Amino acid sequence: MPNRLTPRAILDQLVTFPTVSRDTNLPLIDWVEAYLSEHGVGSHRHVKSDDPSKAGLFAHVGPEVAGGVVLSGHTDVVPTDGQPWSTDPFTVTETDGKLYGRGTTDMKGFDALAIWALVEAQHRGVTRPLQIALSYDEEIGCTGAPPLIEAMQGVVPRADTVIVGEPTMLKAVTGHKGGNTFWVHFHGFEVHSSILHTGVSAIMYGAKLIEWANRVNAESAAAEPGPIAAQFNPPYTNIHVGQITGGTAHNITAKDCEFGLGFRVIPGETLESWEARLRDAAAEIEAEMQAVRPETWIEITPAFSLPPFKPEDGGAAETLVRQLTGDNGTQYVSYGTEASHFQNAGYSVVVCGPGDIAVAHQPDEYITVAQFTEGQAFMERLLETLSA
């Protein structure tokens, strides 16, 4: 009889795999695949199309019928480079009621519980199917979820409910902001700074677009938010520039200026509308540049895109999680998850998992033993519900 590992033993194993997004996650996928197979659970691997060193994995337990529940998690973690860890980040260390290690909260704690629940469902039996979906590259843009969701279609019976296990302290999160980021490159024209008016400084014209972002932020902050927007902090779509480079010398108008410009978009607004506003503002500035030097221009390249996660009216996923947790509060968050990709694919979705997002990505990341234990109790109640 194969050994049925405890959730803690599974967590210990998962954390040993240094699945930083820039590196492979295949050793972890190999281990999960083998462990599930030991318990008679067949799984399906989805290999990243342009990088075979990464893969997602999904599996199905229970009757071969539609209408099951998906437990969704990601396998990648953020780097530990330069962080002052007190313990080995890739070994779970228990101290004072806390389990330290990279990914214990974000989100290998949930992954371990999901793997445990899937094996338990296989041995105990369920009347409603349970599935697991483990993705890659969540930490660098949630880019692994869409191809994984597509790969699931027609291979396993279509589920209707998804629980995305990001750390929410096991509260039901029913909405989050989306985001899109663009790399903006101003192509100017170099002249000596003493004849500035005959050239086009990419930096100075780039500053005009950044000032547009500041102005829009101020206008949005001053406006009365709608009922959904009011649940967020801040209660509006905000625009941010976090990196900028450009110029060659103080006495030369800058030929190039590049920066990333991103939006955190509230539900009810679209990524497309904000991209259109950006391009309209850039077109006005570009016209000013070309009035001086026709060969100058602005290049805007999409770098990241995640749709907002919209609250569902009477959604099946929210109803299920509220039954399992007793949580009736309203929780929206400003960070993004893979929930919106599942939602756009037609699933009912809720975000709910153990741990505190405040310690995610931090040195000495941890999940409390109490939260991890409550996460197991959550899974026990889910298994009971699926067996009823």
| Residues tagged active-site | 76, 138
CB 115 within 8 A of CB 6: no
Among 368, 20, 333, which residue's Cα sits nearest to residue 176? 333
- Token reading at 125: 């039996």
CB 142 within 8 A of CB 338: yes
Neighbours of 172 (CB within 10 A): 23
Helices marked H in 187-269: 202-222
Among 311, 316, 347, which residue's Cα sits nearest to residue 148? 347
Rounded to 10°, the helix 7-15/26-38 angle is 150
Indicate the burial class of 63 (C-beta count within 10 angstroms; 0-12, 13-18, 19 or more): middle
For residues 270 and 237, give the distance between their C-alpha atoms in angstroms, rounded to a whole number: 10
Residue 296: C-alpha distances to residues 52, 54, 103, 252, 258 (Å): 40, 40, 46, 16, 14
Among 214, 179, 105, 219, which residue's Cα sits nearest to residue 334? 179
Neighbours of 139 (CB within 10 A): 23
Neighbours of 24 (CB within 10 A): 17
Cα 262 to its chain centre, rounded Å, is: 15
Neighbours of 281 (CB within 10 A): 18
* Secondary structure (3-state) at 132: strand
